């Protein structure tokens, strides 16, 4: 995860011509995304959370009682992929799978006290890392960027 210099010190400072790829917003989006994701992975590591288990924990704390289907929908992942995520959080006693009396097929997901405490610590840590990562971007620009990103996202969902 740490970023070492990969090029040898003896190389002729080869600069690859990026011009064609640089024409595309998607290219810049990917490069920035990689940096942010790597930072997030690194931030979550001490808490023994992956990006997906982190997102799931946050959504369960903020939406007590939601079902796995609803959670998968919110996380924009397929239900089969959510099972192992919920398994992991449950085994670590961060959440509970409670049976729903009115629909015995579904589970109501709830965070334990331990889960709620971990939530608070991780959200604070992620916020601090984000702040450092985006320190060079002024609030006005950040708003513009977020608005644009939301517009792009809406293109996908129709």
Task: Tell me if 151 contacts DNA by CB under 7 A.
Answer: no
105 binds, among DNA, a second copy, none (CB under 5 to 8 A by kind): DNA
For DNA, how many residues bind (rule: CB under 7 A)?
32
Pick from 9, 10, 14, 101: which binds a second copy (CB under 8 A)? Answer: 14
Please state, in angstroms and rounded to a whole number, the distance separating the CA atoms of residues 56 and 75: 7
Residue whose CB is less far from DNA, 13 or 105: 105
Cα–Cα distances (Å) from 122 to 102, 136, 146, in that order, read: 34, 23, 22
Report d(CA 58, CA 154) in Å as an integer.
23
- The dihedrals phi and psi of 77, each to the nearest 5 degrees, come to -125, 165
CA distance linking residue 122 with residue 102, whole number of Å: 34
Helix, strand, coil percentages in the chain from 3-state DSSP, rounded to 5: 65, 10, 25
Q: Does 50 interact with DNA (rule: CB under 7 A)?
A: yes
Q: Smaller CB distance to DNA: residue 58 or 106?
A: 106
Grouping H, G, I as helix, E, B as strand and the rest as coil, residue 94 is coil
- On the CB side of 13, how many CA atoms lie within 13 Å of its CA? 0
104 binds DNA (CB under 7 A): yes
Using CB under 7 A, which residues numbered 59 to 88 contact DNA?
67-70, 77-83, 86-87
Window of 20-28, 51-59, 116-124, 130-138 that interacts with DNA by CB under 7 A: 51-59
Interacting residue ranges for a second copy, rule: CB under 8 A: 3, 6-7, 14, 16-21, 23-26, 28-40, 55, 58-59, 61-63, 66, 70-74, 76, 123, 126-127, 130, 133-134, 136-137, 141-142, 144-146, 148-153, 155-158
């Amino acid at each position: 995860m740490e970023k070492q210099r990969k090029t040898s010190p003896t190389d002729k400072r080869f600069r690859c011509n990026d011009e064609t790829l640089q024409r595309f917003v998607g290219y810049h989006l990917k490069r920035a995304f990689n940096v942010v994701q790597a930072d997030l992975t690194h931030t979550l590591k001490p808490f023994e959370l992956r990006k997906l288990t982190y997102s799931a924990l946050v959504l369960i704390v903020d939406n007590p009682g939601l079902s796995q289907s609803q959670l998968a929908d919110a996380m924009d992942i397929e239900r089969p992929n959510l099972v192992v995520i919920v398994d992991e959080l449950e085994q670590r006693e961060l959440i509970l799978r409670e049976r729903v009396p009115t629909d015995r097929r579904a589970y109501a997901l709830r965070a334990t006290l331990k889960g709620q405490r971990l939530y608070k610590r991780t959200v604070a840590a992620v916020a601090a890392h984000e702040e450092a990562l985006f320190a060079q971007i002024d609030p006005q620009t950040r708003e513009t960027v977020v608005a644009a990103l939301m517009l792009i996202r809406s293109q996908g969902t129709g």
